[in-house]
Structure 1
Amino acid sequence: MSKRADELNAELGKVHLMGVGGVGVSAVARLMLDYGLSVSGSDAKDLPVMDGLRERGARIHVGYAPENLGDADTVVISSIIKPGNPEYDEAVRRGLRILHRSQGLEATMRGHDRVVAIAGTHGKTTTTSLTAHMLKSVGAVPSFAVGANIPSLGTNAELGNGGYFVAEADESDASFLNYRPDVIIVTNVEADHLDHYGTAEAVHQAFVDFAQLLPEDGLLICCADDPGANELAHKMRQSRSDLRVQTYGFSDHADRRLSDARALDNGRFAATIEWGSGQEHILNLAVPGQHNLLNAAAALSVGIDAGVDVDDALEALAGFTGAARRFEFKGEADGVRVYDDYAHHPTEVTAALKAGRVMAGEGKLHVLFQPHLFSRTKEFYRQFASALSLADTVTLLEIYPAREEPIEGVASELIAERVEVPAHVFAPEAAVAHVVENAEPGDVIMTVGAGDVTYLGGRLLDALS
């Protein structure tokens, strides 16, 4: 990679990353540090990830100010950085090269023999984590960039000396079209991020455009159980005869077929997976849920394409313990287990709560949910209510706005009043007290959402104690 490091340094020079505390931009920063580039960065808050970057030699600032740019040649920005930010405006004034986070990541991908990009409305973080973990466990030494920290790998991004680069490809703003993949996994395609796309049709077209980026003899791996992903596989088989298209899932027509999904007595989850003539194996995972069996089947397909021995790949997948905020076990107190999940779309919430229901067994499932974005809540409040009705009790926080301004008439009550089990909306402290009051030994509590609800896991455990 030394030649590529020299090329990258000549291309980008000194790099300043704005929003460096975010998981996506921090991944780019880590990779650029691995390449030996001079790196600086800034964010509005001093987040834990920034300490690790400082230890690696990056010059990190809290707060945005023009002088933070120093003598940077290139600026990398996240999607939330807009005109009016003093550093962004200064970079424009100086005429510096400005790259979106995805463009910065794409620059670190070049020079690898095989780029694996993993996309989907949901499941892409776990699938990317499983794929990177599998390849690293079998000695393939991949480079990777994931939208969450992977405990088994100790980081969310790393430059390896193997030929593979495994990357989570974010569709939220269509920035995944900046990549040049050799292999694509699509876990599912559903209407989401309509604040960017406008229509469900535009979302589906973006995935078609993404698949079209594959070169001749590229590999497209799609989930046959998801109508959107399955339709994408069908379209690409018709329009690109030069591609290899594979499907996986519980559907009878899947190329890699899963069956007999089951929870084992030791807390693990398993299914039979078969393909071709006579290839039948057991997929045995430490992470719960049918959706994770699907994610692992996708990762296994990459391993097989990479020439990894099937038994070695299965053993590696069996050792995966999860990604941060993906049904992450936070602890147990007074006989109550607390889990945290990033789910913020109705399909994700349904999958997370189904897994929570299995973990609860004879106990009750209590969910503390924080809707993410006013636009998403407006679009999906009925579906969220249906998904949350899988719990025994539901406690909601107010909507986490992220980048959005409020929409009149859109609030968490839209969901709460349609949930079919007891549901209430509270401020954070009152929400914690309410959940703890209802929880009994043997029960499971889940904090669910893409906002700051994740920080309530520790408070729940303290209150239970």
Structure 2
Amino acid sequence: MTRTISGNPMLGTHTGPIDLSRPHFVGIGTPMLAGLAQICAVRGAFVTGTTGTTGVDFGQVTVLREAGCAVTVGPDPAAAGSASCVVFTPADADTPELAAAGKHGVPVVHWAQVVNVLAGRLIVVAGTHGTTSTAGMLAGGLRELGQDPSFLIGTDIDVPGSGAHAGVQFFVTEADESDHALLQLTASAAVVTAIVGDHPENYDNLTSRMSAYVSFAARMRPQAVLAVNGDDPGCRHLAARLRTLRPDLRIRTYGYTVGTDVQIVGVSRRSWNSQVEVDIRGAGCAVMTLRTPSLAHVSHAAAALTLLTGLGFGHLAAATAVSGADTALAGELPSHQRRESHHQGESPRRTSP
């Protein structure tokens, strides 16, 4: 996702209303900002952005320009100085654009603050491991269930620009605690995959890391759904604290551990596929067929299933949807190209199962 930075990256950022009519993105070539810029452009904003002069992903730049974004390779302080706001990731906090924004009184906002403005029913995937694959399974699963979710994933699914989409019913994103994005989001539903030691430059110990997750959960909407990994000690500790702090949250657990709400009871492999049997408390058994042999992805699929059933989707339909999640997302055009194809009477491109 975002690159690592030490210290508190939110110091000095804007705390008032955010005007997204003319946003300027610093580091627009990075996956999260590129995807967010695409979504803003599709929703009618005039988007400008700058990317570094080395390691430029010109495929990503081409997609952004085709979406209507004005992208400059190298610094462009003038564009930042005339923007309605400047959007950044903390790794790009020391740039001429941010200095120009300060000089001209342009609000500087963290990318997660923009997500909060754009999102209606926000679904956040957080945790030390597996956030990208879990977020992808959730977005693809929602599509298989007939929804049209917005999503912002920290990597391209296949073609450049495919890691983001401007939809309507939900907004699925992953959030990294390393850049404090987690603390800027107000979720209607969330997954926490694991809470273990990472990013020592920002967290002294597991206690300080746990505090970040508790603060995130404390910001969630009333009656929000929270799926946590019942196999992970950190997640179990988080759930225990939240049952006292936020008794209104609908906390659901998943994993191999006996007693979890969605328990993985069997995994069998055939070639590159995995067949996963789960026992869902109060509903019965279901089977997911995943096109991967990875046991880590088995856990991520269980996380997606747990959240989808927590949102009210039937367990059998949700299991089938997670099984087809990769097909639902892979091979599609970026958002603006899907829109143009639709206007030309074409069907959006999709891979065969």
1:155-166 equivalences in 2 (<5 Å): 155-161=162-168, 163-166=169-172
Asked whether 1:190 is paired with 2:201, we answer no
Structure 1 residues 301-357: Cα deviation after superposition (integer angstroms, max 9, x where no partner): 222233333333222222244999xxxxxxxxxxxxxxxxxxxxxxxxxxxxxxxxx
Which of the residues 78, 92, 97 maps onto 1:87? 97
* Helix, strand or coil at the partner of 1:259: strand
CA distance in 2, matches of 1:306, 1:278: 14
Structure 1 residues 220-254: Cα deviation after superposition (integer angstroms, max 9, x where no partner): 11000111111111211233222211100000021
Name the amino acid aligned to 2:291: A
Name the amino acid aligned to 2:260: A
Q: 1:33 to 1:278 in 2, by over 3 A?
A: closer
Correspondence for 2:254: 248
Correspondence for 1:172: 178
Q: Give me the TM-score of the superposition, normalised by structure 1.
A: 0.63
Q: Give me the TM-score of the superposition, normalised by structure 2.
A: 0.82
CA distance in 2, matches of 1:124, 1:71: 35
Correspondence for 1:271: 276
Q: 1:128 to 1:62 in 2, by over 3 A?
A: same
- What is the RMSD computed on CA atoms of the aligned residues? 2.2
* Helix, strand or coil at the partner of 2:179: coil
Q: 1:184 to 1:280 in 2, by over 3 A?
A: same
**Range 310-319 or range 220-229, more displaced:** 310-319
Name the amino acid aligned to 1:305: G
Please report how far the alpha carbon of residue 152 of structure 1 lies from its aligned counterpart in structure 2 after TM superposition: 9.4
Which of the residues 110, 117, 123 maps onto 1:116? 123
Name the amino acid aligned to 1:121: T
Specify every segment of 5 or more residues in structure 2 that has no aligned partner in the other structure, as ranges: 1-16, 330-353
* Helix, strand or coil at the partner of 1:126: helix
Correspondence for 2:133: 126
Correspondence for 2:109: 99
Correspondence for 1:69: 80
Structure 1 residues 265-297: Cα deviation after superposition (integer angstroms, max 9, x where no partner): x42012210122460111211123221111111
Correspondence for 1:50: 61
Correspondence for 1:138: 145
Bigger Cα Rg: 1
Name the amino acid aligned to 2:24: H
Correspondence for 1:427: none
Q: 1:277 to 1:56 in 2, by over 3 A?
A: closer
Correspondence for 1:14: 22
Percent identity between matched residues is 29
Correspondence for 2:211: 205
Correspondence for 1:418: none
CA distance in 1, matches of 2:266, 2:20: 51
Correspondence for 1:368: none
Structure 1 residues 88-110: Cα deviation after superposition (integer angstroms, max 9, x where no partner): 2111111101101111222211x
Provide the aligned length of Structure 1 versus Structure 2. Answer: 310
* Helix, strand or coil at the partner of 2:194: coil
* Helix, strand or coil at the partner of 1:281: strand
Higher RCO (Cα < 8 Å, 6 or more apart) = 2
Q: 1:188 to 1:173 in 2, by over 3 A?
A: same
1:382-393 equivalences in 2 (<5 Å): none
